[in-house]
Amino acid sequence: MAFISMTTQLLLGLFLSGAINEVLGGYTETLYLENGQYIDYGVQGCLGVDYKPLRSSSLVREYVDFRTGKKAATVYRAAVEKFSYPEGGLYNLPDPVPEERLQPFGDFVKKAGIQDALQVVKTFAHGAGDMLQAPLLRVLQLCGLPQIDSLLQGGYITPKNGMYEINRRVLGILKSDVLYQTSVAETERSSGGIKIVVESANGTRKLIKASQLLVTFVPIMEYLQRFDLVTAESSLFQKLDWMNYYVTVVKDMGLPSAMAVVSADPESTPGNLPLPPFQLELQTLTPQEVKNVVLSDIRRMSKAGTSPKDDPDIVVFGGHTPTAVSVSNAEVRDGFYPKLYALQGVKNTFYTGLAFCSDYSSLLWVYTDTVIEMMSSPATGPCYL
């Protein structure tokens, strides 16, 4: 068994999350084409890379409330600006949690009269599943003031050479410290520090020692089977729920290059929002079954005359599971999030990521910086339960 000694901290990223990756990047995925162009089909925006304003497409699409003449995003912002939390993307909730924050988002939409803003909200919050039935708190995490303000102010940027350019820079810094196609085999967290045995795809094992551990993947029980969890950890992590999310690039659809096709349900009101085709059943579908659903939807457009071709081809396919991590309203009322944040430092282990903070990148990086400062503080000592 090889031995790696780390005298400071150890970062456990997505390469130890159960999704064993061949490249660095996690949810950041870019398809580079032979003509020098690229398609970002994963996370869209820096680590010293040149960037440009992020535009969804060459199409000009503006959602407007025709009753007032105002931009739909402005209407939505006015409706949610009274909510001071989740501030900074954190679940910094008062006790007791106001029931208004836990009401179905559809009820809030009706009371606030913001039906015309739903297509804008869907841009950010479609990962919530049936958005109108999701709690308001969950939608605010996905589409709150930070996201809307950036949309209105033009604050979104993306690297000029594709999102993966960031990971190239990261790899240039970490080099051989990145372990590909590697999963956790054993862990031992004690007063003496952290010991983790990892196993590569070919069966080779390495022992890693560190004084502290930073976990950046979503701590669902499926990913933590080999961790020496204490009751305080397992009792919380097993309550996490999430949505599965897949992204794909498809060619030979036959659609004009300037056309954007958006899923809509004319029988769903308000907002004609499409219901997720596998809101509950997705947990049991294999990636191949998901691909089949995607291709079936596209072929259905051909049969309806929307597209002239019926032989689409999936070029690349990526899984961004888990996403929209949440717990039930009952758990929120019972103080789940204060208990979750209290885990920081337990057994010299710290956490960041979308279970603890909004996955809106600017908020998540600020929170991650806060956690790293916590780890570096002389006042931070071992904490055990």
CA distance 163 to 361: 13
Which of 63-77, 222-236, 239-253, 261-275: highest mean pLDDT? 222-236
CB neighbours of 245 closer than 8 A, spacing ≥ 6? Answer: 127, 319, 320, 321, 323, 324
Q: What is the mean pLDDT of the chain?
A: 77
In a domain, 14, yes or no: no
3-state secondary structure at position 332: helix
223 and 331 share one domain: yes
Neighbours of 87 (CB within 10 A): 13
Whole-prediction pTM: 0.75
Tokens, residue 266? 């004319």
Domain boundary among 133, 155, 177: 155
82 and 37 share one domain: no
CA nearest neighbour of 63 among 157, 153, 152: 152
Pair 174, 168: CB distance under 8 Å: no
In a domain, 270, yes or no: no
218 and 170 share one domain: yes
91 and 231 share one domain: no
205 and 346 share one domain: yes
Domain boundary among 155, 187, 202: 155
CB neighbours of 328 closer than 8 A, spacing ≥ 6? Answer: 239, 241
71 and 128 share one domain: yes
231 and 218 share one domain: yes
49 and 84 share one domain: no
202 and 68 share one domain: no
Res 159 pLDDT > 70:
no
More confident residue, 312 or 164: 312
Domain boundary among 131, 155, 179: 155
CA distance 250 to 329: 38
- Domain that includes residue 114, residue range: 57-155
105 and 208 share one domain: no
CATH number at residue 186: 3.50.50.60
- Reported as a single tens digit per residue, the pLDDT across 49-84 is 555 555 554 434 555 554 555 677 899 999 999 987
CA distance 307 to 312: 10
pLDDT at residue 257 in the model: 63
Give percent of the chain above pLDDT 70. Answer: 68
In a domain, 102, yes or no: yes
CB neighbours of 166 closer than 8 A, spacing ≥ 6? Answer: 28, 45, 46, 47, 49, 159
Q: How many residues does the chain have?
A: 385
47 and 93 share one domain: no
CA distance 295 to 54: 28
